[in-house]
Amino acid sequence: MPSPIVEAFSISHAAILNGTTGADLADIYGVREGTVEIDSDSYSNTGDDGIQSVWNWFNLATITVTSGFIGFDMVSLITGATITSSGTSPNDFWNLPLWNQSSLNQATRPVLLRCPSKDNAGNPRSLDFVLYKVQFQPMSFDGPSYKNGLSVSWTGQAMMSPVDEKGVTLTDPAVGRLVSRPRA
């Protein structure tokens, strides 16, 4: 019997979702690593020479995904840049602007991060981080370095959203949700 207690491993799939059906719109290929970090803080309400209560809050979550591949479709989607191509196979090439002014502050997008996992009974599962509203920063590069090659990092801020990844209104605004499901 499956259990709601799961452990997850490295990210196996990362994608930008289309925002209406939850389907993948563009994949981040060759994910090497990823992080999801919450930006949170607290305030201690003091009185009578002691802490009476603590108020906690969060601002957003920062996601970073590092990949070994540069998907031109992904760059185009995040930056709004148009891919141009020329030539015919096998002598074709693709071109798009890198870090231009109009690529900043593009529309937010829902994002999926999937990790293979298993429950505490050993049943194979997938653990999905579904983030509803992610604003991407310009991509960054590391390398190329010996044996590791060139990697590209995609960083974005996941903010509170009144709708989910399909555009359905939420009763309680949220940054996203965790989904544990049977492995596909």
Helix, strand or coil, per DSSP, at residue 101: helix
- Domain around 68: 6-39+55-182
pLDDT value at 87 more than 90: no
H/E element, 75: helix 72-79
Task: Identify whether 45 is part of a domain.
Answer: no
Q: So what's the pLDDT on residue 183?
A: 84
Contact 131, 63 (CB under 8 A): yes
Task: Identify whether 50 is part of a domain.
Answer: no
Task: Tell me the average pLDDT of the chain.
Answer: 91
pLDDT value at 60 more than 80: yes
Tens digits of residue pLDDT in 122-181: 999 999 999 999 999 999 999 888 877 889 999 999 999 999 999 999 999 999 999 999
Q: So what's the pLDDT on residue 90?
A: 85
Structure-derived torsion over alpha carbons of residues 151, 7, 170, 56, reported in degrees to the nearest 10:
-90
Task: Identify whether 98 is part of a domain.
Answer: yes
Q: So what's the pLDDT on residue 145?
A: 82
* Gap between the Cα atoms of 16 and 25, Å rounded: 6
**Within a 10 A sphere around the Cβ of 45, how many other Cβ atoms?**
9
Q: So what's the pLDDT on residue 117?
A: 94
Note if the pTM is more than 0.95.
no
- CA-nearest of 84, 104, 102 to 94 is 84
Task: Identify whether 71 is part of a domain.
Answer: yes
- β strands within the chain, DSSP E: 6-8, 13-17, 24-27, 31-47, 50-67, 84-86, 93-95, 109-119, 124-136, 140-145, 149-158, 161-163, 169-174, 176-182
Task: Identify whether 48 is part of a domain.
Answer: no
Task: Identify whether 46 is part of a domain.
Answer: no
Task: Identify whether 49 is part of a domain.
Answer: no
Q: Total domain count for the chain?
A: 1
Q: So what's the pLDDT on residue 18?
A: 92
pLDDT value at 3 more than 90: no
- CA-nearest of 30, 3, 2, 1 to 14 is 30
Task: Identify whether 171 is part of a domain.
Answer: yes
Cα 14-18-24 angle, rounded to 5 deg: 40
Q: Which residue has the tokens 């803080």?
A: 41
